[in-house]
Structure 1
Amino acid sequence: MAGVLFDVDGTLVDSVYLHVVAWWQALRQHGHDVPMAHIHRAIGLGSDRILDELLGPGHDDEADRAVRAAHASLFAVHWPALRPLPGARRLLDTCADRGLRVVLATSASRPELDALLRCLDSDGSLTAVTSADDAGASKPAPDIVEVAVQRSGLSAEEVVFVGDSVWDIEAAGRLSIPCIGVTCGGLGAAELLEHGATGAYGDPQDLLDNLDEALTTAFRMALI
């Protein structure tokens, strides 16, 4: 038995740039003019870490809570427009049909997770899901990945992770779990491979088209 853990934002759902705009607007509302390119590179960090990455040390915790709340409200406006990335549903269904345990490993809030699940419409293929409530610390800490492994009913040696950011790769790597990269979140293949991805594919459809190769390579790396 084996399993595949999936990040969601930017990996299965086309939401990364909506997050970028929501963070950009939230930061501007509270007096921070941060270039969108900088925000994009921080996407994948949890909301408890992204402001440290974007604003540096010494910012006010109370003000941070207001920025995070503004981001959540601004992003929620886009929930009805969320769409799965090409091949996302078929990838989840195919993995499940092959007998793989499929777990969504995301630190999205519960309401946001519900919107993502409605978008994917693949509940029948999922073994388990995670949310922000399940992790003491967000990526690149491995907490949410560790919970996903536990809910899969498998060991870390029996799973691979699929993600679109360097933070996904780092979080999985801290548990010695190989990570397959996808570039549909906006990072290039070279950067994902440089940070340790076992392969880099354009989107879920590209990964599905090369699934045997991708899984074989990833599980082989887990044995090294």
Structure 2
Amino acid sequence: MELFYSSQISNQIALLDEQESRHCIKVLRHRQNDELNFTDGNGNIYSGKLSKADLRQCEITIQNIQQEEQRNFELHIAIAPTKAMERFEWFLEKAAELGVEEITPLICRHSERKHLNMERCEKILISGMKQSNRSRKPKLNEMTPFNKMMNHTADVKAIAHCSSGDKKSISEIMQASSLLLLIGPEGDFSEEEIKLATDASFIPLTLGDKRLRTETAAVHAASITYFLKN
């Protein structure tokens, strides 16, 4: 199913932005009165007719709305963006495809990237959502200092790190209906950050006996989490 995205929906009319409009007309060669499907990123899938075929702004007349069933589990990944931006963008794409509910970019002591182009990140999330025919776009928060995450709430809070010590596996914490998972930068979390998190009731977590890249660890954790929940 071809799936477009619109954030401008009012009075049974949806507008596609210029990028979506050009893709619709130039690439997919849709014409006026063609039937299209699109989502608002909030769990709704709309169907309708292309009432105005314009390269700058297409209009769709809505004929039907279906709401995607919401999971009974929410995963929030707080992750330190990688120095190589393409690797973090790969994570965003896969997180959207897997259906991660919320993402917070972290600023940690060992972070090598402390600024993001949020507009570009949102576009990648939209692309990943459409690619997997999902109707829910992950919520992307602003860059957040590590210590600010200590006040966030979830049924279970966990921190995946490479330091030694007793740790639980993902399967041991899956009784929760919501999970906040911290994934550190390429230099891992500092010992001070690990202590701060454990003092704030974050559970030390292992993702296996191999050292994973930041973005790989996040996708690996999300995949296991949803597999166990489903």
Pairwise TM-score range, normalised by the shorter structure:
0.3 to 0.5
Higher strand share: 2
Higher helix share: 1
